[in-house]
Each structure stands twice: as structure tokens, then as C-alpha cells.
Amino acid sequence: MSRILSIDYGSKRVGLALSDPTGSLASPLPFIPATPFAKLYGTIKALVREKEIDLILVGLPRNMDGTYGPSARAAEEFARRLREVVVIPIRMVDERLSTVEASKKLREGGRDARQQKAKIDSASAQVLLQTYLDTPERELLG
């Protein structure tokens, strides 16, 4: 039994979600500020150790036509730097529409746009992780 950490990297906030030990349910964690970088990477490293995480998923924001833009390059650079800090596998996973889905779920839960701001990043990480957990071929993803 292992845990997976999902990360929705943003320039201001980094959303996090964690799987349960059975790998069937994703739960959001509080977001963490994207800067300063040393503190961000230290927080993630401590979380990996404390929660016994075996895999990290980093959302890769692709355009709807499948191309990569500046946000994707920033997420890839974040993952590259994270690989220098942690020794577990890190996979980039397509996160198209995860924020849209997260916003929809938060709205259904009664949160308006203003109330969503503090929750949307981790909710997006949760959608990304739950999608990964629900995919039978998940070993082929990333």
C-alpha cells in the first residue's frame, strides 16, 4: 500500500491532493504558496517523508489542441527542480479541464467564485489524482 501526492503547480499557489493508502480515494490538502521556492520544496519533501508517499503526479497544463504553453513549461521546470529534492518517481500528467471540473464540483458544493479561490488549486489536484486513481491503465499514463 502506497500513497500518491498530486500537485497542481501555479505561479502563486500550489494545490495538493493525497491518495488514501489503498490508492482508491483522493483528498485535497491545503494549498501552499509557490514562493519562496526553498520553503515550497522543503514542505513537499517533508510531506513525502511524513505521509510515506511513493509517487508524485504533477499536472501538465496542455492547451486543448494538445500543444504546450508557458504554464506547461513552468510545470515541467517545477518537476525538474523537485526531482533534485525527492528521490521518488515524479510523473507529469495531462491536467486539461481539471480546473473546470474542480470549479464545477465546488459550485455544486455551494461555493461561489470568491469562495473557490482558496480551494480551487487543491480541488484541481484532487480531480487530477482521482482521475489517475480511477484509470485502470494508470501505469501507462505519464
For the segment 82-120, what is each residue's pLDDT rounded down to a tens digit? 999 999 999 999 876 555 565 566 556 665 555 555 566
140: pLDDT strictly greater than 50: no
The pTM of this model reads 0.83
Residue 110 Rama label (left phi>0; alpha psi -120 to 50; beta): left
Closest CA to 58 of 34, 72, 79: 79
Give pLDDT, residue 60.
Answer: 92
Give pLDDT, residue 137.
Answer: 65
Give the mean pLDDT of the chain.
84
Going by pLDDT thresholds of 50, 70 and 90, the confidence category of residue 81 is very high
Distance (Å, whole) CA 26 – CA 42: 22
Going by pLDDT thresholds of 50, 70 and 90, the confidence category of residue 50 is very high
- Quote the CATH superfamily of domain 3-137: YqgF/RNase H-like domain (3.30.420.140)
> Between 116 and 23, where is the model more confident?
23
51 Cβ partners below 8 Å, 6+ apart? 3, 5, 18
Highest mean pLDDT among 15-24, 59-68, 100-109: 15-24
